[in-house]
Amino acid sequence: MTYQEKKQASKKVLDAIKALKDSEVLEVAYGKGFKGVPNVYTIRAYSSSKGSDRDMSYSIWSTFSGMNIDSLGPTTLKTYTFDMMSQKTTYTFPLYEMEIGLTLP
Residue 105: predicted pLDDT: 42
Q: What integer is the mean pLDDT of 15-42?
A: 92
Rounded Cα distance between 88 and 24, Å, is 26
pLDDT band at 104 (very low <50, low <70, confident <90, very high): very low
Percent of the chain as helix, strand, coil, to the nearest 5: 20, 45, 35
Model confidence over 47-95: pLDDT tens digits? 876 654 568 999 999 988 999 999 999 999 999 999 999 999 999 999 9
Q: What integer is the mean pLDDT of 9-24?
A: 94
Residue 55: predicted pLDDT: 81
